């Protein structure tokens, strides 16, 4: 069963990379939510308003990253999936000098291309 789980992991990681790249491109174009900068404000809104503003693509990406981490753990990998770990770190990093989401997305896309 391990070889099939390894293939599944590779497929999920490839899907994550493609989804992340698409989300970064959308973010550069002005769609917020990838880095969670507005999450606190969204929590203050009513249920219906929040449902309209939440970025579903980001939610799916986060769920996919969690699934990858669970599978990696089950397969005995000691390190988490680096792309997802970086995204989660960036989502939790908020201070006065944090660049805006489109700038962060452009920087990450440039790194991925280089």
Helix locations, 29-100, DSSP H: 39-44, 47-53, 56-74, 82-92
What pLDDT does 81 receive?
A: 96
Report the domain count for the chain: 1
Query: 26-43, pLDDT tens digit by residue?
Result: 999 988 889 887 666 556
Q: What pLDDT does residue 22 have?
A: 96
pTM of structure: 0.85
Segments forming the whole domain that contains residue 99 = 2-113
How many CA within 13 A on the CB side of residue 39?
Answer: 13
Average confidence (pLDDT) per 10 residues, the chain, 114 residues: 88 98 95 78 60 74 97 94 95 80 94 90
SS3 label, residue 38:
coil
């Amino acid at each position: 069963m391990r070889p099939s789980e390894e293939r599944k992991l590779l497929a999920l990681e490839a899907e994550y990379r493609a989804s992340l790249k698409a989300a970064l491109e959308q973010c550069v174009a002005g769609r917020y939510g990838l880095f969670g900068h507005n999450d606190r404000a969204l929590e203050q809104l009513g249920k219906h308003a929040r449902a309209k503003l939440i970025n579903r693509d980001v939610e799916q990406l986060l769920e996919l990253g969690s699934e990858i981490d669970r599978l990696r753990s089950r397969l005995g990998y000691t390190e988490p999936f680096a792309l997802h770990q970086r995204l989660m770190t960036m989502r939790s990093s908020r201070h006065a000098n944090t660049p805006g989401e489109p700038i962060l997305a452009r920087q990450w896309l440039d790194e991925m291309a280089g």
